[in-house]
Amino acid sequence: MAAGVSTPASRPVPGLPPGVVAGLAAIVGADSVLAGSRRLLAYECDGNTVFAGQPEAVVLPHDREEAERVIRFLDEHDVPWLPRGSGTGLSGGAVAERGGVIVDLVRLRRVVRVDPESQRAWVEPGVTNLALTEAVAPCGLFYAPDPSSQVACSIGGNVAENSGGSHCLKYGVTTNHVLGLEVVTARGERLRLGGAAPDLPGYDLTGFFVGSEGTLGVATEAVVRLVRRPQAVRTVLALFPSPDEASQTVSDVIAAGILPAAMEMMDRLAMEGVELGPYRVGYPPESGAVLLVEVDGLEAGLDEQAERIAAVCRRNGVQDVRVARTAEERNLWWQNRKTAFGAMGNLSPSYYVQDGVIPRSRLPRVLRRVEAIGREFGLRIANVFHAGDGNLHPLILFDDRLPGQRERAVRAGSEILRACVEEGGSITGEHGVGIEKREEMRLMYSDEELRFQAELRRVWDPKGLANPGKVLPV
Ligand SMILES: Cc1cc2nc3c(=O)[nH]c(=O)nc-3n(C[C@H](O)[C@H](O)[C@H](O)COP(=O)(O)OP(=O)(O)OC[C@H]3O[C@@H](n4cnc5c(N)ncnc54)[C@H](O)[C@@H]3O)c2cc1C
């Protein structure tokens, strides 16, 4: 038996039809099929540990041909399956809550081609977001959607979740940067959707696939748009007494005709968390909110834009406003912000991150509702926002060791999403629906609209084998 195989390929795995593990092993090799509870522990959840479930097996194809054969095989044997990238998702999308097989795409990690002239790259799904930007940096280009998890998350996962990031305010989210896809549908057909040229005729199937959370099939290659690196950036850090003044500043900056590349905000509790971590900025205790604003473009005119932003901050009662003097200072500010989720570990044994969207102007009002929900459920809630996009991430702190706390955190999260919808927003900005928000889909869509979505899904996956139970209410 090859090293690393916990279950001999010939032995049946409970829950899977006989011969499935052996059949998968015949495609990818026995050491690329994992089975047995201990081996599968790492696949029990994604970045959101609230939702868990073990697959019966995990298969790791080496290339696209193998991935395609694996999916055809699973379809022929009526085995439920789901794709997985780096497992950093935050809505339970890559969790096998009903068992079945996980198709792990981590080994498909080639940047196949870069064309600097047309500013396009062809990439396999296992390439990490940051690795793509690093690969095209020598050409003076970058891949714009930049989730805070970019060091780990995969392009396939980004496509499936239509991921966003701090710089998406100016540049747009994943769907604005994916021009084409090669996919293997859940029926095992290999299709090319869209392509390098813009505005192809026919239905926008690329757009339909982006954000489909592994329910239609597997993306095996993406054709992405690359962006020229801006000549220069200016980063402004502003401290305010409370999120109210910071929120007003966000609206006023945009109303002044400035389009920053990024506008990020943290409230007092989030600031306390990050200040206990390795990237300390030194926020004073009297500050209730921090705003990080970045403008980029041609060097000429950027100082003036930064000064205009500082002036708006001053009109809104800023306590302190500075422009980063060095690249190191800018990096520190960004690391401080980008590690905010993990920094909750400095404040609480467990946390649960939510992801709602609201119209920017409603930020102060929604924050008061979030605070009230925290009081109602007896839980502390820190807030981190892609403020320019109205995308808020309440971080609900709880202690998983105490009975009932996890359930209370989940219920508080659901109430926050309800508040977002009531204020004219949405239940997800970038983390997707997954397991977590499928019931909340009813807050957004009528039964008829949900049925229509289910019918479209069935065209790609008539047997309902791909990532079953995700996205649409059960
Ligand atoms: C600390 C932290 C910060 C984060 N910050 C952000 C942020 O700023 N913005 C943001 O948008 N998200 C953020 N996320 C969430 C997460 O990183 C993104 O959703 C990311 O795109 C998931 O990529 P992944 O490779 O980890 O996918 P996984 O978690 O492995 O999978 C996510 C979904 O994609 C499907 N999938 C994976 N690969 C494929 C494929 N090739 N074809 C079809 N379906 C596939 C899976 O079935 C699953 O439904 C953050 C997560 C963490 C832990």
CATH number at residue 246: 3.30.70.2190
Query: From ligand 1's centre to the CA of 157, what distance in Å?
Result: 4
Give the torsion through C-alpha atoms of 126, 130, 134, 136, to 10 deg: 70
- Is 241 within the bounds of a domain? yes
Q: For ligand 1, atom 9, which residue shows the shortest CA distance?
A: 147
Which residue, of 71, 104, 137, is where some domain finishes? 104
Domain count, the chain: 4
Tell whether 200 and 213 lie within a shared domain: yes
Tell whether 89 and 120 lie within a shared domain: no
Tell whether 356 and 299 lie within a shared domain: no
The binding-site residues of ligand 1, defined as CB within 6 angstroms of any ligand atom, are 46-47, 82-90, 93-94, 105, 125, 147-149, 153-154, 156-158, 160-161, 163-165, 213-214, 218-219, 341-342, 430-431, 467
Q: For ligand 1, atom 28, which residue shows the shortest CA distance?
A: 87
Q: What is the largest CA-CA distance in the chain?
A: 72
Measured in degrees and rounded to the nearest 5, phi and psi for residue 69 equal -65, -35
- Is 240 within the bounds of a domain? yes
Instruction: Return the ligand 1 atom nearest residue 174 CA.
Output: 11
Tell whether 300 and 366 lie within a shared domain: no
Specify the pLDDT at position 12: 62
Specify the pLDDT at position 7: 42
Q: Which amino acid is at 116?
A: P
Counting ligand 1 atoms within 8 A of each CB, the residue from 110, 154, 161, 168 with the most, and so the one to mutate, is 161
Specify the pLDDT at position 157: 98
Query: From ligand 1's centre to the CA of 153, what distance in Å?
Result: 6
- Is 467 within the bounds of a domain? no
Query: From ligand 1's centre to the CA of 433, what distance in Å?
Result: 11
Specify the pLDDT at position 224: 98
Instruction: Return the ligand 1 atom nearest residue 386 CA.
Output: 8
Q: How far apart, in whole angstroms, are the C-alpha atoms of residue 103 and residue 85?
A: 9
- Is 14 within the bounds of a domain? no
Q: Which domain holds residue 428?
A: 348-457
- Is 463 within the bounds of a domain? no
Instruction: Return the ligand 1 atom nearest residue 214 CA.
Output: 44
Specify the pLDDT at position 198: 79
Spell out a b/e string for 368-384, using b for 16 or more CB atoms within 10 Å of the CB, else e: ebbeebbeebebebbbb
Query: From ligand 1's centre to the CA of 253, what distance in Å?
Result: 31
Which residue, of 308, 342, 376, is where some domain finishes? 342
What residue has token string 């990532």?
Answer: 467
Per-residue pLDDT of the chain (474 residues; tens, 9 = 90+): 333 334 445 566 778 988 999 999 999 999 999 998 888 999 999 999 889 999 999 999 999 999 999 999 999 999 999 999 999 999 999 999 989 999 999 999 999 999 999 999 999 999 999 999 999 999 999 999 999 999 999 999 999 999 999 889 999 999 999 999 999 999 999 999 999 887 889 999 999 999 999 999 999 999 999 999 999 999 999 999 999 999 999 999 999 999 999 999 999 999 999 999 999 999 999 999 999 999 999 999 999 999 999 999 999 999 999 999 999 999 999 999 999 999 999 999 999 999 999 998 888 899 999 999 999 999 999 999 999 889 999 999 999 999 999 999 999 999 999 999 999 999 998 999 999 999 999 999 999 999 999 999 999 999 999 999 999 998
Judge contact between 166 and 148, C-beta under 8 A. yes
Specify the pLDDT at position 364: 87
Q: For ligand 1, atom 50, which residue shows the shortest CA distance?
A: 149
Tell whether 275 and 312 lie within a shared domain: yes
Specify the pLDDT at position 8: 44
Tell whether 195 and 269 lie within a shared domain: no
Q: From 152, 134, 101, select the one nearest 468 (Cα to Cα).
A: 101
- Is 473 within the bounds of a domain? no
Angstrom CA distances, 31 to 9, 35, 139, 297, stand at: 9, 10, 38, 49
CATH number at residue 372: 3.30.70.2740
Specify the pLDDT at position 199: 81
Specify the pLDDT at position 140: 97
